[in-house]
Structure 1
Amino acid sequence: MLTNPRSDRVKAVRALSRRSVRSRTGEFLAEGPQAVREAVVHRPDLVRDVYVTPEAAERHTDIVDAARAARLWVHDVSPEVLAAMCDTESPQGIAAVCRVLDVSLAAALADLPPDAIVCVLTNVRDPGNAGTVIRGADAAGADAVIVSDASVDVYNNKVVRSTVGSLWHLPIATGVPVPVILSALRERGITLLAADGAGQTLLHDVDLGRPHAWVMGNEAWGLEPEVREACDEVVRVPIYGHAESLNLAMAATVCLYASAEARRRRR
Structure 2
Amino acid sequence: MVDIIDSLSRERTLINPTADRVKDVASLARPRTRSKKGLFMVEGPQGVREALAAHRVMPLLDALYVTERALERHDDLAEAIAEAVGSAAPSANGSSRKLFIRLVTEEVLEAMSDAQTPQGVLAIAHQDPSLRADPWSDGATPGFLAALVRVQDPGNAGTLIRAADAAGADGVVTTQGSVDVLNPKAVRSTAGSLFHLPVTLGMEIHELVGRARATGMQILAADGYGDHDVDDLSDQAAADRASGAPIRDEALDLRRPTLWLFGNEAQGLTRQEKLFADARVAVPVYGSAESLNVSTAATVCLYASARARRP
TM range (shorter): over 0.9
1:208 to 251, 254, 258: 254
Structure 2 match to 1:64: 81
Kindly indicate whether the alpha-carbon contact (under 8 Å) linking 1:112 and 1:143 is maintained by their aligned counterparts in 2: no
CA contact (8 A) 2:221 2:280 kept: yes
Q: Assess if the C-alpha contact under 8 Å between 1:41 and 1:66 holds in 2.
A: no
1:162 paired with 2:208, answer no
- More moved, 154-163 vs 242-251: 242-251
When the two chains are superposed, the root-mean-square deviation of aligned CA atoms in Å is: 1.7
Larger Rg: 2
1:211 maps to amino acid = P
Percent pairwise identity = 47
1:56, 1:76 → 2: CA distance?
Answer: 10
1:13 Cα offset (Å) = 0.4
Provide the C-alpha distance between the structure 2 equivalents of 1:115 and 1:36, rounded to a whole number of angstroms.
28
Give SS of 2:284's match.
coil
Q: Does 1:38 align with 2:84?
A: no
Partner Cα distance (1:180, 1:187) in 2: 10
Please list the CA deviations of residues 144-200 of structure 1 after superposition, one character each: whole Å capped at 9, or x if unmatched: 100112000000010000000000000000011111111111112111100111210
Alignment of 1:134-153 (within 5 A): 134-153=161-180
Asked if 2 retains the 8 angstrom alpha-carbon contact of 1:123 and 1:151, the reply is yes
1:58 CA displacement: 2.6
The answer to whether the 8 Å contact 2:133/2:199 transfers is: no
**Residue 249 (structure 2) aligns with:** none
Alignment partner of 1:48 is 2:65: no
Runs (5+) with no aligned partner, structure 2 = 1-12, 89-98, 234-252
Aligned partners of 1:40 and 1:66 also within 8 Å: no
Structure 1 residues 241 and 173: CA distance shift in structure 2, 3 A = same
Structure 1-normalised TM-score?
0.94
Number of residue pairs aligned between Structure 1 and Structure 2: 265
In structure 2, the CA distance between the partners of 1:69 and 1:236, relative to structure 1 (3 Å rule), is: farther
Q: Gaps (5+ residues) in structure 1? A: none
- 2:211 and 2:140 map into 1 onto residues whose CA distance is 16
Residue 30 of structure 1 deviates from its aligned partner by 0.5
Structure 1 moving runs of 4+ over 6 Å: none
Instruction: Give the Cα–Cα distance (whole angstroms) in 2 for the partners of residues 69 and 192 of structure 1.
Output: 48
